[in-house]
Structure 1
Amino acid sequence: MASNRLGSDYNTWINSLRSDFSRDLRRRDRVEAEAEKPPTGANKVERVHWYIKDNARNHKTIKYDLVHDKEKPRPVLRRGQLFYLAIRFQENFDQAKDRVVLNFRFGHKPSVSKGTLGVVMVKNDKLTRTKDEWDCRIDPGTRGKDLVVQVYIPIGACVGIYHLEVLSGLHNSPNTGMNTYLDETDCYILFNPWSRDDTVFLEDEQKREEYVMNDRGKVWVGAYRKARGRPWAFGQFDDVVLPVAVYLLEISKVADPERGNPVKVVRGISAGVNSSDENGVLEGRWDGEYSDGVPPYRWSGSVRILEQYVKSGYQPVKYGQCWVFSALVTTVCRALGIPCRSVTNFVSAHDTNSSLTIDKFFDKQGEEIEGGPDGENWDSIWNFHVWNDVWMARNDLPAGYGGWQAIDATPQEESDHKMQCGPTSLVAIRRGDIGLNYDAPFVFAEVNADVMHWGEDPQSEWGWSRMKMNKYHVGRSIMTKTSGKEDDIGDDDGEDVVNDYKNEEGTMAERLAIHNAIRGSRRAMQYYNFKSDVKEDVTFDLIDIDKIIMGQPFQVKVVARNESNETRKVRAFLNARSLYYTGVSVAHIKKAEGNFIIEPKGTQEVAMTVQFKEYWEKLVEHCMMKIYAICRVEETQQTWTDEDDFTVEKPRLNIQVTGEPRVRNMCEVTMSFTNPLDVPLTNCHISMDGPGLMRPRSIDITDNVAPNQEFVYSTRFMPRIHGERKLIIAFNSKELFDITGSKTLVVVKAE
């Protein structure tokens, strides 16, 4: 109650007080304890210098905002590399006399045996240990009071925040107590995809640049034939990201000693990004009711979400859906040094009963029965579903299963009593090896499940007979942003990676993978053993709808061909509905049914036209529609069904920038598009993100946009960091939402 009454950031303020008070208390205790120690005659440490920016350049972490913080810069380093460190003593450092030990402390209870305490004796000018151990050498730059060392971080070091403790004593009095100096600096150590010895090593430089260093990109949404790359600002170098990434590993309860293992780390990330367990970052919602939060389609970058999470006292942010969860995972993984890509599976199966099939039931009128005949079947097909691939070796699996691994932060099914999924080897999915860790059957079904349509049949033993098994419906394409390519105007920077997940549809290898998986599921064997001897001598084809522009009508058409030498009478049902991208039906748009005759060897078309005024008010986010077609042949009882989904295309946002993009030089951005509707756009809003250009912005537009009129809006910003940057903007209104655009800028250094 108090936090609600005093504001959303009250919890943050209270937590900061607790943290500051606890830190001050620990500091006073250490000072007093040191003062009470008997004199040792040993040299004492005055301060530590981290060479933060120099080390960051060598460790490829110079882009992190934490490195450049003017008041409290923090070192960001990668394991498997050396870094420079200087220790200033009260008296001149004497290597022959002074005994110095460096303790690198990690986690709640640092322990040498658990790998969370690195103990390094400073005594040599050469490295003497293995790549799996902390080590250091004295640098020639050592002189006077300054001891300069190069410290090696073990290749398997835990990832997160370390604190340095320096012990100083005398070589000739080893039993005499040592002075202790604890440096308060938070030192971040990350995975190292540049090191061949690291389990996340990625050899291709262009792919490293894309999957680790690129702080902007796209998340694919829409329908599989007309996929749209939605621009997104990942912003993994922003100052809010690394602290939250470390926090997520805490709340997801990844044990301290396991935080050097990318398998455990990404599994923890998949649990921590959603709010289902331990108040993770983002709360999901799919019913269209977002009045107490932010609609998912308003987000255009990760940083604003993470900032809101921190400012609200680490309470879940409302609301997200799969593409937002995936974008956040991309941000967190790349921040920690794990190569990561957001991938979108178009026509994605959610197999609730582990049958490796998606079962849909239809009554005699051709209407789908939600929940099936017993109300217990909630298999579904999402028009698209977005998750992530992360790159790593899999030392916990047999040889050959490393490389890309699928993880999913969208809360769907529990795994080990948590809403988490993966990492699942893509090699295992392609082979149908669903018995391997983690969650392989679920991911396999998402891209491979066969769709079974069941029709009401009084003569069947259980009242239903199988009308159709579509083996090539699920997992039509799996899209991601290709490496090394940017397209602000269109979507030529997309790449279909479906062949990473499965063999080509219809090939012997693809069917063998299916059968391999079926052998691992008793429920699947029951469904696939179903036989049907119905005579099928009429072929049907539901004509694909390639493109519909907002404001235009569309037509549903089925072409039937009679392959027999006899006349066939056919009854057809055509049904158009609006739906959420998860496949959940929203509203009935139009239905048509009737009978027609097909002559022997003849062809007949049946069509239904849907006008703009019949569908546009029934559309919801993503503007998706689904078409069902069912045809029954009277003479043979042959039944055919098919379905199609598509999106109504909306205009893109045009973005123009005036003024020279220069650090600390004011620029103006103008965005525009034409309202395609014959009604005004109300409750207009703009979201802006630009890593290195500006802090995320949320702008309410007071004026409406008149029907068929151009919307134009300008605002100003001052670039923060030089280099190639991208401005990402999303426009939303009550009537029309998710109008997006992006603009790449090259910012030059300040004069």
Structure 2
Amino acid sequence: MSTRSGNALRNEDDHPNYLRNMILNFSSDLEKRRRRDGTLKSGSDVEPGHLKVDIAEMYARDNSKEHHTELYELVNDASPTTILRRGLPFFFALRFDRAYDATKDSLRLQFDLGESAQRPQNRSFICCHPLRGPDGPRPAVTKETRVILPVTDKKEMTSQTTQWDVKIHREDDKTVTLQVKIPATAQVGLWRCLVQIGFTGSDVKSDFLCKDDIYILFNPWCPDDAVFMDHEDSRKEYVLNETGKVWTGSARKPLGRRWIFGQFDDAVLPGAMYLLELSKLSHAERGSPVKIARAISAVINANDDLGLLVGNWSNDYRDGIAPHSWTGSVAIFEQYLKSGGRPVKYGQCWVFSATTVTVCRTLGIPCRSVTNYVSAHDTDSSLTVDKYFDIHGEEIQGGPDGHCSDSCWNYHVWNDAWMSRPDLPKGNGGWQVIDATPQEQSDALFRCGPASVEAVKRGKVGLAYDTPFIFAEVNADVCHFQEDTNSDWGFSALNISQYTVGKRLVTKRVGVDDDEGDADLEDITDQYKYTEGSELERLTVLNAVRGVEKAKQYYNLPKEEEEDISFSLVEIDTVPYGEGFAVTVHLHNKSEAARTVSAVLSASSVYYTGVTVHLLKRAQRQFVLQPNQREVLQVDISLNEYLDKMVDHGLVKIYAMANVQETKQTWGAEDDFSFKKPKLNVQCVQDPPRLGQESQVTFSFLNPLPVILTECQFTIEGHGLQRPKNVNYSDVKPEAGAPRTTQERTTTDESFQTKQTNKSRTSYVFPAHSPPLWVVCSPVRSTKDSYHNLVKTPARRRRGGYYFQRVARYKRLF
């Protein structure tokens, strides 16, 4: 074996040890910060006669103001950590044992990404810090993961934006203050600084390893950075905003879940750096936001490695935490670090998306959460979603051969990350789709993107990465097939209307926060696709079909037969929990002859992924429509018919199908809606609360259902106010149907003291002068062991966005 290949193999074998040391260090540091036990000290002795470094001061807090990193808790810790953005200079000082003499003293700086040049033999020292030992990736000048900067007496630094540089800013007796320029293309990660000292003209050098870690991040304020974002309002929203909404619900009634991203928390940035190491993305490629975004989409899920979150759509969360119980990312990262990098249980798409926002923003990549209502999951690259039904109108899971896994999720949540795309033709920069939810493999890993939103809109499915899959998610045609004994292959196609894939795409609006409604919702459908049904939209789909070989057979469709009966499924916006609802179809025979119609209407509870759980009710009828006659078909579903059959998110799927005997006309339609959740009232006893003063807050709601909720629990979280906290609560009595004057409110009181405010967003007031608070009340089980309930709200007095749900009839604790 050659020396080169042997070294490469050794580096690969060393990587698990490097990762183990890194997570142990981050976990230890987090625990120390929690207990305030002190800090690590490091340094090295120098040979007599040489200039000796006594202290290296990185000015972490002073530099943070210029680098827009002053909000990081690590910067404001008792032992501040240096967090910098590339494309900007920073200052740091060296105090020597004597005055520095440029004529006889040789001074140079060495910055390493990965293992430091200093390699002590003491293994216990190695375990204290992952980047101080021989187990990590080897920095190299040729890979730009090692930078060597001689300190000279020059007055100006280079104007090249892609080069490192250093100059002496000030000399004061034994102290030399240096200014170091970080290029706008520098690799993002955890760097170390080594000061090398000697005599001019001598090869003998002494090393001083600065004890401080240096985090270098992307810089959306720098025009030369690939993630540069031009408008300050956008940077405040997509980089600095620590809270926001992740949208669920339905296209007609979007529901904003409040989420604390917490990208500046002291557990998040170390966790993000560890995840980057876990991705095995080479250090040489970490200057590219494209490569890093792709790596993030792989390590947020734990399918291929020990990533952050385990996905679970089974409705059984007994060995972890239910996805809908999370209120923010901080608790997830804390659990991940404290467990030594063990994946956290559990997440679903909006949790994967919210934590992706956290990781991107903590690294400096502008990022937003995007919800696609009626999101297609095309598993066979046909750009269609195929659904099969038996003669009774019941969906055949897996299709006729059991191998069709296509589905339409009621909604799916992914992310847009902002960056230039020098790897693609011009015009494809800007927002890029990344999706950390493990759906399909891409290059042998569960990851997706980044794919240019502009490329998706224009049907350019040949551009990297995963553009065909994302294009199908917002543009696929839904094809319904029903059993037909007269068909050669046993099924006949139904014409479908009303259920449009990519029906609506939304995100949080820049600079707007609506605590009661959805004024902070921004509809970005037009950024992803042309108007549904327009000529441009159809041309775009056909353009995409040309680039997907398998899709061509599906789009060479015959002309539609003449239709003389119109069908219309009445859409349901939302239904309050505890009330019944109806499935309604309007028919009109527009012909001059009688028509025999067979129709099937059904309603089922579904997971948000579109998977059917329980049939609530189905009705089948055949009747004759006279010429020009109008008819209304209606199926009523009462509370008792759905009470024990609902699951996560309270979603209902409606199917309607019909065929006309005389003309062979077929029709199919589908719709979905979610139940409306009860209002959670929040009242601050001391109005208004003030910074540094304790305030008492009361949370209350009414149970609208005729069941007792038991083993209830509130989860409370507020950035700068309260770390995630669970509060157990007694049984909640059934109040549905009781007179308004006699209803008893479920109430709990908590006291809080506001510790900090956030200058980047004025709506961090609670309710006037402090950060916001989020509360989850989750009654876990009813007396019938069949009822789970979740209510969620931020703790301002005018909050909207509550979550209330029932899940399967089993004894399950979240």
TM tier, smaller: over 0.9
- Distance (Å, rounded) in 1 between the aligned partners of 2:309 and 2:412: 17
Alpha carbons 1:629, 1:643 under 8 Å: kept: yes
Residue of structure 1 equivalent to 2:777:
731
Alpha carbons 2:499, 2:670 under 8 Å: kept: no
Residue of structure 2 equivalent to 1:8:
none
Deviation, structure 1 residue 111: 1.1
Sort the Cα spacing of 1:92 and 1:466 in 2 relative to 1 into closer, same or farther, 3 A.
same
SS in structure 2 at match of 1:47: strand
Residue of structure 2 equivalent to 1:699:
727
Alpha carbons 1:450, 1:469 under 8 Å: kept: no
Deviation, structure 1 residue 345: 0.4
Deviation, structure 1 residue 13: 13
Residue of structure 2 equivalent to 1:625:
652
Unmatched 5+ stretches in structure 2:
1-19, 30-39, 115-136, 737-743, 759-763, 765-770, 781-786, 798-814
SS in structure 2 at match of 1:485: coil
- Distance (Å, rounded) in 2 between the aligned partners of 1:14 and 1:528: 51
Deviation, structure 1 residue 99: 2.1
SS in structure 2 at match of 1:200: coil
Structure 1 stretch displaced more, 60-69 or 727-736 = 727-736
Deviation, structure 1 residue 59: 0.8
Deviation, structure 1 residue 43: 1.2
Instruction: Say which of 91, 99, 112 aligns to 1:92.
Output: 99
Instruction: Write the deviation string for residues 414-452 of structure 1: whole angstroms up to 9, x where unpaired.
Output: 111111100010011000011111011110111100000
Deviation, structure 1 residue 161: 0.7
Residue of structure 2 equivalent to 1:24:
none
Sort the Cα spacing of 1:622 and 1:19 in 2 relative to 1 into closer, same or farther, 3 A.
closer
Instruction: Say which of 719, 722, 747 aligns to 1:712.
Output: 747
Alpha carbons 1:488, 1:741 under 8 Å: kept: no
Deviation, structure 1 residue 51: 1.0
Residue 285, structure 1, aligned to residue 292, structure 2: no
Deviation, structure 1 residue 554: 0.9
**Where do residues 356-505 of structure 1 align in structure 2 (5 Å cutoff)?**
356-470=383-497, 473-505=500-532
Residue of structure 2 equivalent to 1:544:
571
**Where do residues 15-164 of structure 1 align in structure 2 (5 Å cutoff)?**
15=24, 31=44, 39=48, 41-70=49-78, 72-107=79-114, 108-123=137-152, 124-128=154-158, 130-140=160-170, 142-164=171-193
Letter in structure 2 aligned against 1:66: L
Residue of structure 1 equivalent to 2:294:
267
Residue 167, structure 1, aligned to residue 184, structure 2: no
Deviation, structure 1 residue 363: 1.6
SS in structure 1 at match of 2:394: coil
Instruction: Say which of 264, 273, 284 aligns to 1:246.
Output: 273
Alpha carbons 1:342, 1:388 under 8 Å: kept: yes
Sort the Cα spacing of 1:532 and 1:462 in 2 relative to 1 into closer, same or farther, 3 A.
farther
- Distance (Å, rounded) in 1 between the aligned partners of 2:620 and 2:22: 63
Alpha carbons 1:694, 1:720 under 8 Å: kept: no
Letter in structure 2 aligned against 1:667: S
Alpha carbons 1:577, 1:587 under 8 Å: kept: yes
Alpha carbons 2:26, 2:271 under 8 Å: kept: no
Letter in structure 1 aligned against 2:155: D
Residue 721, structure 1, aligned to residue 756, structure 2: yes
Letter in structure 2 aligned against 1:731: C
Q: TM-score, normalised by structure 2?
A: 0.86
**Where do residues 164-203 of structure 1 align in structure 2 (5 Å cutoff)?**
164-171=193-200, 174-203=201-230
Deviation, structure 1 residue 129: 5.1
- Distance (Å, rounded) in 2 between the aligned partners of 1:701 and 1:290: 20
Q: TM-score, normalised by structure 1?
A: 0.93
- Distance (Å, rounded) in 2 between the aligned partners of 1:505 and 1:56: 47
Alpha carbons 1:652, 1:740 under 8 Å: kept: no
Sort the Cα spacing of 1:30 and 1:492 in 2 relative to 1 into closer, same or farther, 3 A.
closer
**Where do residues 603-682 of structure 1 align in structure 2 (5 Å cutoff)?**
603-659=630-686, 661-682=689-710
Structure 1 stretch displaced more, 339-348 or 718-727 = 718-727
Residue of structure 2 equivalent to 1:601:
628
SS in structure 2 at match of 1:640: strand
Deviation, structure 1 residue 616: 2.2
SS in structure 2 at match of 1:67: coil
SS in structure 2 at match of 1:523: helix
Structure 1 stretch displaced more, 638-647 or 681-690 = 681-690
Instruction: Write the deviation string for residues 357-400 of structure 1: whole angstroms up to 9, x where unpaired.
Output: 00011121211111111111110000000010000000111111
Letter in structure 1 aligned against 2:146: L
Alpha carbons 1:488, 1:743 under 8 Å: kept: no
Residue of structure 2 equivalent to 1:742:
794
Alpha carbons 1:212, 1:340 under 8 Å: kept: yes
Sort the Cα spacing of 1:19 and 1:221 in 2 relative to 1 into closer, same or farther, 3 A.
closer
Sort the Cα spacing of 1:534 and 1:143 in 2 relative to 1 into closer, same or farther, 3 A.
same
Aligned length: 721
Alpha carbons 1:297, 1:737 under 8 Å: kept: no
Unmatched 5+ stretches in structure 1:
1-10, 21-26, 746-751
Residue of structure 2 equivalent to 1:321:
348
SS in structure 2 at match of 1:127: coil
Alpha carbons 2:700, 2:745 under 8 Å: kept: yes
Residue of structure 1 equivalent to 2:612:
585
SS in structure 1 at match of 2:352: helix
Residue of structure 2 equivalent to 1:687:
715
Alpha carbons 2:58, 2:212 under 8 Å: kept: no
Alpha carbons 2:165, 2:182 under 8 Å: kept: yes
Sort the Cα spacing of 1:342 and 1:361 in 2 relative to 1 into closer, same or farther, 3 A.
same
Alpha carbons 1:272, 1:280 under 8 Å: kept: yes
- Distance (Å, rounded) in 2 between the aligned partners of 1:177 and 1:63: 42
Deviation, structure 1 residue 472: 5.9
Alpha carbons 1:234, 1:301 under 8 Å: kept: yes
RMSD: 2.1
- Distance (Å, rounded) in 1 between the aligned partners of 2:446 and 2:236: 31
Residue 234, structure 1, aligned to residue 269, structure 2: no
Deviation, structure 1 residue 204: 1.3
Amino-acid identity (%): 46
- Distance (Å, rounded) in 1 between the aligned partners of 2:566 and 2:191: 67
SS in structure 2 at match of 1:66: coil
SS in structure 2 at match of 1:341: strand
Residue of structure 2 equivalent to 1:310:
337
Deviation, structure 1 residue 742: 1.2
SS in structure 1 at match of 2:710: coil
- Distance (Å, rounded) in 2 between the aligned partners of 1:315 and 1:129: 45
- Distance (Å, rounded) in 1 between the aligned partners of 2:696 and 2:713: 18
Deviation, structure 1 residue 471: 8.4
Deviation, structure 1 residue 175: 2.8
Deviation, structure 1 residue 720: 2.3
SS in structure 2 at match of 1:91: coil
- Distance (Å, rounded) in 2 between the aligned partners of 1:256 and 1:489: 45
- Distance (Å, rounded) in 2 between the aligned partners of 1:650 and 1:567: 45
SS in structure 2 at match of 1:430: helix
Deviation, structure 1 residue 470: 4.6
Residue of structure 2 equivalent to 1:7:
none
Letter in structure 1 aligned against 2:556: N
Deviation, structure 1 residue 694: 2.0
